[in-house]
Amino acid sequence: MLLSEMELKEVINVVDGVIIGFIVDLEIEPNSGQIFAIFIQQRLGLGNFFGKRECVRIPWDQIVKIGENVIIVNYPVKNLI
């Protein structure tokens, strides 16, 4: 799977069913190529339309499933803003 394909998938938290946002970056170990984490640009309400968008780092081991249209993660709600 290509990063460009992953960027189109909504990231959904299995803990509360909320759409977190979309992948904007990856953290990769340069020597092994292992992916350590994904960075999600949070989906914010309309009130933050012109505001700065926050990114959330989700460790690779918290990804539950990468499906055809969505990515399901198990990420504690308290870590999200």
CATH architecture of 3-79: Roll (2.30)
Question: Could you tell me which residues come within 8 angstroms of residue 23 by beta carbon, excluding any fewer than 6 positions away?
Answer: 3, 6, 7, 9, 11, 38, 39, 40, 71
At 36-64, the pLDDT tens digits run: 999 999 866 545 555 556 789 999 999 99
pLDDT of residue 54: 78
Q: What is the mean pLDDT of residues 20-36?
A: 94
Domain ranges of the chain: 3-79
Q: How confident is the model at residue 65 (pLDDT cuts 50, 70, 90)?
A: very high
- Give the integer Cα–Cα distance in Å for 2 and 52: 27
